[in-house]
A = this chain, B = another copy of it.
Amino acid sequence: MAHEFRMQRRVAYAETDAAGIAHHTHFFLYMEEAEHAFIRSLGLSIFSEEGDRVVSWPRVSCSFDFDQPLRYDDAFDVCLSVERVGDKSVTYRVEIEKDGEIVATGRSTTVCCALLPDGSIESVAIPDAFRSQLEVSPPAQGS
């Protein structure tokens, strides 16, 4: 039961480095952008205000393995799947594909948190509006 979502993107010039390739930190931005676009496609948001508190999804871990470099203006896909839905956390897996070939593989775990008025952050149970949709596979997009 994979939840799959596909986002298309290009390497921006500002994302390249002196070796002429996309700097590795930008892959983590690509992964986050795909997560957020996926949540938006469900009609939800990863940053919402509920009364005097904000609900957001900070990351507790993330990783990437890089197989091939990307260069300026390369078009690529970020293929995101929901790997696990816990009580308070969601784990995503992404494959970065260029011309149908995987160039990098990432994984991240985000935790549903309330940001309280005093600035403290507290993990909370995933709201039903998220849980009900994360546990039902949406139709794959563009693949």
A134 contacts which chain B residues (CB < 8 A)?
none
Interfacial residues of chain A within 60-108, with CB under 8 A of chain B in the complex: 60-66, 69, 71-73
With beta carbons under 8 angstroms apart, the residue of B16, B21, B25, B45 that contacts A58 is B21
Task: Name the residue of chain B whose CB is nearest to the CB of A40.
Answer: B73
Copies of this chain, whole number: 4
A65 nearest CB across to chain B (Å): 5
**Tally of contact residues, A, Cβ under 8 A:** 42
Report Cα–Cα, A18/B121, bound state, in Å.
13
> Is A63 in contact with B66, judged by CB distance below 8 angstroms?
no
A130 lies within 8 A of chain B by Cβ: no
> Is B47 in contact with A13, judged by CB distance below 8 angstroms?
yes
